Amino acid sequence: MGKLSIFIYISIFSLLLILFFHTPSRRITPRHRRLRLRSNFTFNQPLHRQQQDHYAPFDPLIANIQLRREDEEWQNHSLGPSQSDAADSHPEWEEFINDEDRFNVTERLSSLFPNIDVNPTDGFISVEELTRWNWQQAMNAALHRTEREFETHDEDRDGFVSFAEYEPPSWVMAAGSNSSSGYDIGWWNEEHFNASDADGNGALDMSEFNDFLHPADSRNPKLLLWLCRDVVRERDNSKDGKLSFSEFSPAIFDLVRRVDEDYGSLSWDDDQMEARAKKMFLELDKDEDGYLSATELLPVIGKIHPSEAYYAKQQAEYIISQMVSEPAHQAVCQQGH
């Protein structure tokens, strides 16, 4: 039973991780909205370990182990390949959760449940409660990585990172060397840095630096507008600083309808798709000039660049819909019945 419990536990938080990468293209509305603690649910599909490495685990305890490993690898990144291989060959979290003397799966799941079941505390986990939990785990992991990188770049240890202190990543430098625009690509440019500087003091504190690294999760209006400008810059083939309908559709329209239930039908033919795209375009074109400015993209920027909150909700809806749809699952509260 110990190995089976471990498998179920790993499967639960692994599926939650994978959903960050393989989010369903359409919004899911599960028949039942809450889950009890105890369940006979098991997963039938194989889980791919390589997809777990990029996202925060469901369990904060496992997240802490993983982040500690990342910290060690971060500190030793300049070591040779043999050192990296040695670290990869000893996955600490796998050893920990497979040691029944150190990690009791049943007790762990029981201890986590009341931390999720908080609004209201009624013995069930709702989509909203699981969404909040998933989002918090993702944000905690993101902030930890931000703090680690902040410490690296804050060379004068004044609690701020200036534009000069933040050396662009190697992939940006490589791309810049092959581009006439130099480092002015993607998210790495001075305009992005300045937009992240909410108080305008010329440097980024920890919170602003976190926004700089994760602009889609920011509430900074300047940074959200920068994201819109970046979308225009990327898709503006005519270089006139705005988007025509042909530049908006299908590329940007497809991004929006991927997360918008009103535009998410997969059964439309090409004519229906174009009609829907034109409808959205006209709704966004507030000044009716036949083009979309960066400001006019603000209402949909959260769909072009979904935040962690969106993925957290997708995770929650999907995991609950999968669990309650299992015939063997006998511990479901059918809300409204």
Whether 36 and 331 have beta carbons less than 8 Å apart is answered as yes
Whether 193 and 161 have beta carbons less than 8 Å apart is answered as no
Phi, psi of 324 (to 5 degrees): -80, -15
3-state percent helix, strand, coil for the chain, nearest multiple of 5:
55, 5, 40
For residue 98, is it within any domain?
Answer: yes
Structure tokens at 140: 């905690």
For residue 291, is it within any domain?
Answer: yes
- Strand partners of residue 292: 243
For residue 17, is it within any domain?
Answer: no
The rounded distance, in Å, linking the Cα atoms of 309 and 256 is 16
Structure tokens at 131: 């969404």
Q: Quick check: pTM over 0.75? A: no
Going by the DSSP 8-state scheme, the letter that residue 98 receives in this structure is T
Mean pLDDT (the chain, rounded): 75
- Number of domains the chain contains: 1
For residue 335, is it within any domain?
Answer: no
| pLDDT band, very low/low/confident/very high, at 68 (cuts 50, 70, 90) | confident
Show the domain range for 284. 34-67+92-172+185-325
Q: What average pLDDT does this structure show over 108-123?
A: 87
| pLDDT band, very low/low/confident/very high, at 41 (cuts 50, 70, 90) | very low
Predicted pLDDT of residue 324? 62
Q: What is the tens place of the pLDDT at every residue in 73-112? A: 777 764 444 444 544 545 566 677 677 777 777 787 788 8
The rounded distance, in Å, linking the Cα atoms of 291 and 228 is 14
For residue 248, is it within any domain?
Answer: yes
Q: For the chain, what's the residue count?
A: 337
Predicted pLDDT of residue 273? 87
